[in-house]
Each structure stands twice: as structure tokens, then as C-alpha cells.
Chain A
């Protein structure tokens, strides 16, 4: 077994664009659930809107990169409004079911064969990332970083992704310290108390839903850009549940928790995969196939989610006093 390579890959996951996308989308969930108390189980839908909202106009009308991003942002806001209007007045579990249903509706719609011309149905779309890489300031070549080496595209997407994560973390941090953030936390603790202070709870919940959804939308774009392809199968409900695992790992009412959670999530996934595959190839483990080893990791994710929720609901970084549920 090549331990150095396995550890190198695992360390590389810390800064990978996928980790950044998970961190950003989980940060959106932190805004929704950790700070406002909204149960959004449709973050995969917001990510899909980011990916498709950007890819479709780019391929269909050949719009510039910035316009593509703007269209995705507008799509995300509309989606959040559509979701929020029927559900934000209702109890938390209704929002959970409606958001999960809405995310699935999006996935069914982009998968249908009727819209193959626009969405590419099950195959998805590809080759829309040119505008993004055309802005790459890094000269072509291979860059070495000790354990791993990257080309100029790898560096560019990582720099952009993590800058975005850092900026969004700062923004969330500042917002949650502001009066606006205090009202959100107030809604989380006692909706009626906030209402009695004359605040429009419905409107604040909607703003929170839109803001967290936007973070998910940006995450969707970061998720697809390095792949150069968007496929509906990536946006199943499992994605949302993995994001929840990241959020709960890190701590739901913290700013850096989702980022740390996403890093732990991917490092552990990469390590277990590397070690299991290595052990299988070296013949140490004979009762598993590599496919089963991949599935075993997701069983562990499910068990981890349960155990976290039972034994350490505040996560790695969280404060137990800030839990939505006492």
C-alpha cells in the first residue's frame, strides 16, 4: 500500500473545489437551520439551479460568464420565493418535506427527455466552463506543492473557490453580528417573541431562505466548473443529506463549522477509500469488493449522522447553548 499517496490524496481533499462547494452549501444550511431554524432539505435543488442556471444560458445563448452567473442567481432567488411562500408560515417539518420535494422536482425536470435540447436529460451538459478558465491569470504549466502537483486550471478554480468561501464566511459572520442576524437568531429561539417586537417574521425568514439558497447556488457552480459537466444524478437527495452531515459535523450555528465539517467529511471519505482500496488490492481484505468498499463508506456516513445527532448535536465547534432544539 502506498501510504504516502493515500495521505497525499486525503490532504489534497482539504483544498479541493468539491470541498469548497460542500463548505459553501453547508454554510447556506447553517444560515437556514443553525441561525434561523429553517429545515431546508432541498439544498441540492439550489445547487442544481446554480449549475444549470449557469450552464444552460452559456450553452444556449453563449452569454458571457458574468451574465451566466447572474441568471443563476436570479433563478435561485425565484426558487426560494416559490418555496417560501407556501411553507414559511407552517411548522418546520412541512418546510422540510416541501424543500426536498422541490429539489426532486428540479431533478426530474432536468432529467426528462422532453427537454433534452436544453438540459441534456440524463447525460447532462458539458463544455460550458470556457469563459471561467479564459479569465485564468495563472500561466500555463505544472505547479508542485510537495505532495501533489497541479496545473494552472486546478490552481485557478481552487483560488476562486476558496476566496469565495472566505468572503462568504466573512459576510455571514458580519451579518450574524448585525441587528439583522440577531433577529434571525431571535426567530430561531422564539418566533412569537420576535413577532411581538413588531418584526415581520415571515419576511425575515424569506430573506434567510434566499440568502442561504444563494450560497448553495454559488456552491453548485463551484461544484460543476472543475468537472466541466453537470449531470442530474449528482443532485439527488443524498447530496443534501451529505451537506447536512458536514453541517452537523462542524457545528450548525457557527460560521467556520460548515467549512471544517466539509473538510473532515472529505478527508475521512478519501482516507477510508484509499485505505480500503489499498487493502483490497494488496489482498489484506478479501471479503469486500472495491464497489462494496465504496458503499461501506456511505453506510458509515449514515451511522455518523445518527451518532452525531444523538451524542454531539453541537458538532466539533458548536456551542450547545446555540442549538435550535435544547
Chain B
């Protein structure tokens, strides 16, 4: 069917061109155009041969501390770095493992001291990302408090809620697509990545942060629109069955992921404002970005819920999800609804990707793939094809992932969520809000 080859090729070419054009701008621009006071450490650091890095910012009450030597040893490797003018430092390491990071106290400027109780050297462990942070609080008289269990619990709870809601952004889109077309879309992770990568590209190209974000989200929606227009709709027309479509989405995911890698590179980049201040709310401390992310995703999800429940379009969407043939018979333009669902799914995934980039923090070519299974877990937990189930399931997964770190080592936190998904399938395969008939 030659009718399909052209759009397919155009789709991939377009993806390549968009990311290519945006990312060809010199990355050094990022630090000059960024309105935030502390640009990401990686954008100002020189290129290093390793993709994994340990980094941090050294600052005391007077501002950043420059010229301090920091060493990292472990996994049969040792490297060192010196903090820059803005206090940032970053050490590239060959593998993700555990490292001993030590501040050379003799290189401190006059009057600078490590806060009492700070372990030095301290142990740093990578948690499934290519970036690990090491924090060394400075300042005389500052005592590092060990927070009580209750405080840590509340902090994890807020972080988990924030993480769960950003997962929900992606999973609501996935669930809508599944509900209306029956497709289990394995390329949804790449729709998440595209948002963050495009926002990074636009901000590097000199756009203001808000515009870069809007453009990233808009193009994420365009990616969804284009996918449906040039790939999925022609396939539906051909009567392609669901399992082949699922495998096609895997092919698309591979092609898209490596297209992004091709243009973006394997390094971890930071969005402007990625190193946000820690806010103190009473006794608990939470990063500002985590709170903003929580509010943004909550507002967007409420909007989507209102859209689905109150508007004609939402009603049409639910009708198509329920029974496409009957919806078509009662005068609903099914193809138009599906197109809108893909576009909205793309927008939500792109927004989720940007929030995920702030949450981790960092933009990488495979960041979407990393949460794809958690998104699936959320969708299955709530019930495949139910939008509100996806929301509830994702929040539960997010909470579970963050709260499990209270008992589980951090690099196993995703395992718990995936296990929960399998256990839920064992006892309630239709999910929390699913209907029994949906299960084969």
C-alpha cells in the first residue's frame, strides 16, 4: 500500500527535522538567555566523555562558593572537579553505581566550613537516572538535622502526589487513546520525551521559558495529531488488527527514541530553572518545582475532567470509547473524535514530559521510556480504558513509588510499583474502576 509509505516517511522525517533544527542551536546560549539565576550545571560544564555524572551546587549564605576541589571514587574509577563561579560542579563517571564523594576542605575559601554533622566523604548512589546529586551544606553553626519519620513521610507523600499527578497526565492520554481506538500505545513514552526535548531545544535557541514550554507542548500535540493523521488513521482504514498496531507502535517508539538520541545526544541536559530552591513549610521541606508541578498537573487534570463531563465533545469522546459503532450511528464523527483524542493525548504527554524533566531533574532521550511502564501500571491499576481509573491508578503508583523509598532502597523503587500492578491483575484484573466485561 504505497499510500502509507509516504505519510510514514514524512512523519519520521518531520520528527527528525524538528528536533534537528531546534537542537542545532549552540547550547552555550542556554546560560546567557536563561532568566533564572542558576542555570543548569551541565549546560555550562565542558563536555565530558561519560554520560553519567554526579553533580551539585556548593553555596553558603553569601552565595556560591568557587574553586573548591571535589573528588569522586568508586566502581574502580576516580574523578575530580572544581566548583565554577556559580558554585556548580559535575564529575562524569563511567557507570551508574555507588561513589564516595569528598570535598577537599583544604581548598575552601577563608571562613567557609562544612555544616556540622555533614558526612564527608559521603556516599552517592545513582537511582536509574544518569544524574546523581551530592549536597554539601555549608556554614558555621548550621547543624544538619535528621528529620523525624513523620516529616519524611509527609515529604514523600507530597513528592509522590506530585509524581503521581504528572504520571496521570501521560496515562490519561494513553487511556483515552486505548478507550477510543483499542490501541495499547507503546510509543507514548516518546510522546512524553518529545515535550521535554522540544522545550529544551527552544530554550537553548533563545526563547523565553514560558514560550519554550508552550511551543514544546503545542508541538507535542502536533506530534499526536500527525501520528493519527499519517499513521494510525490509514491503518484503521485498512482494518489492521490491534496486535499488529501494537507492534507498529513499538517500531515507532524505537524509531522515535533513536531519532531523538540522534539529534539530542545521550547526555543529560537541564531545563532552565531545574535547580529550584527548597521551600520550608513548617518542619517539612519540599522543592519549589515539585509543588509547582503538583498544582499545574492538578489544574490540567481537573480541566480535562470538566471537559469530558460537561462538554459535547467530552460526551462524544465517552460515547466513542463506549461503543464506536453505536456512536457513529448516532451521528458522532468518530474519526474526528479520535483525532482530537490523539492531539489532546500528545499535549498532555508533552506537559507530563516537561514536568517529569523538572521532577527527575534532567532531560534525556529515554526519559519517557523510563516512566512508560509506570504509566501502564497506573492505567492497569485503575482499569484499562477508564479515564478516571487512569487518574486514580497513576496517583496510587506515584505515591507508592515515593513512599516505598521509606523502606526500600531507592534504586528498587520502581520494582514495587510494577509488582503491585501484577498482583492487582491477579485479584482484580479489571482494575479499580474498570468494568468486568472489559477483560477478555
Q: Is the CB of A97 within 8 A of B376?
A: yes
Given contacts A114-B409, A123-B97, A326-B241, contact A98 B421 (CB under 8 A): yes
Q: Is the CB of A91 within 8 A of B1?
A: no
Of the stretches B64-72, B245-253, B388-396, the one at the interface is: B245-253
Residues of A within 8 A of B439 (CB): 90-91, 94
Of the stretches B54-62, B200-208, B258-266, the one at the interface is: B258-266
Of the stretches B143-151, B311-319, B412-420, the one at the interface is: B412-420
Q: Which of B97, B254, B369 contacts A305 (CB 8 A)?
A: B254
Residues of A within 8 A of B348 (CB): none
A301 to B241, CA, bound (A): 22
Q: Is the CB of B250 within 8 A of A298?
A: no
Q: Is B411 an interface residue (CB 8 A)?
A: yes
A116 to B419, CA, bound (A): 22
Q: Is the CB of A310 within 8 A of B414?
A: no
Q: Is A105 an interface residue (CB 8 A)?
A: yes
Q: Is A275 an interface residue (CB 8 A)?
A: no
State which residues 85-116 of A face B: CB under 8 Å.
85-87, 89-94, 96-98, 100-102, 104-105, 108-109, 111-114, 116
State which residues 62-101 of A face B: CB under 8 Å.
85-87, 89-94, 96-98, 100-101
Q: Is the CB of A310 within 8 A of B97?
A: no
Residues of B within 8 A of A85 (CB): 426
Nearest chain A residue, comparing its CB with the CB of B97: A122
Q: Is A303 an interface residue (CB 8 A)?
A: yes
What DSSP secondary structure best describes chain A's contact surface? helix
State which residues 179-206 of B face A: CB under 8 Å.
184
What is the CB-to-nearest-CB distance from B160 to chain A, in angstroms, rounded to a whole number? 18
Q: Is B215 an interface residue (CB 8 A)?
A: no
Q: Is B157 an interface residue (CB 8 A)?
A: no
What is the CB-to-nearest-CB distance from A42 to chain B, in angstroms, rounded to a whole number? 11
Most chain B CB within 10 A, of A96, A310, A325, is at: A310
Chain A residues within 8 Å of chain B by Cβ, number: 54
Q: Is B332 an interface residue (CB 8 A)?
A: no
Q: Which of B12, B369, B415, B421 contacts A303 (CB 8 A)?
A: B12
Q: Is the CB of A96 within 8 A of B418?
A: no
A313 to B256, CA, bound (A): 21
Nearest chain B residue, comparing its CB with the CB of A109: B415
Nearest chain A residue, comparing its CB with the CB of B16: A299
A324 to B242, CA, bound (A): 11
Residues of A within 8 A of B384 (CB): 93
Q: Is A296 an interface residue (CB 8 A)?
A: yes
What is the CB-to-nearest-CB distance from A322 to chain B, in angstroms, rounded to a whole number? 14
Q: Is the CB of B422 within 8 A of A98?
A: yes
Provide the A112-143 mask, 1 if CB < 8 A to any CB of B, else 0: 11101000011100000000000000000000
Most chain A CB within 10 A, of B184, B242, B255, is at: B255
Provide the B407-440 mask, 1 if CB < 8 A to any CB of A, else 0: 0010110110011011101100100000000011
A residues at B contact (CB < 8 Å): 39, 85-87, 89-94, 96-98, 100-102, 104-105, 108-109, 111-114, 116, 121-123, 237-238, 241, 244-245, 248, 292, 295-296, 298-299, 301-311, 313, 324-326
Q: Can you report 5 A-B residue pairs in the complex whose CB atoms are below 8 A from each other? A: A104-B373, A104-B414, A104-B418, A301-B254, A305-B254
B residues at A contact (CB < 8 Å): 1, 4-5, 8, 12, 75, 95-98, 125-126, 128, 184, 235, 240-244, 246-248, 250-259, 261-262, 369, 373, 376-377, 380, 384, 409, 411-412, 414-415, 418-419, 421-423, 425-426, 429, 439-440
What 7 pairs between A and B have smallest CB-CB spacing? A302-B255, A91-B440, A302-B254, A305-B251, A306-B251, A325-B241, A86-B426
Given A39-B246, A311-B1, 9 additional A-B pairs, CB 8 A: A86-B422, A104-B414, A114-B411, A244-B250, A301-B255, A302-B254, A305-B254, A307-B5, A310-B235
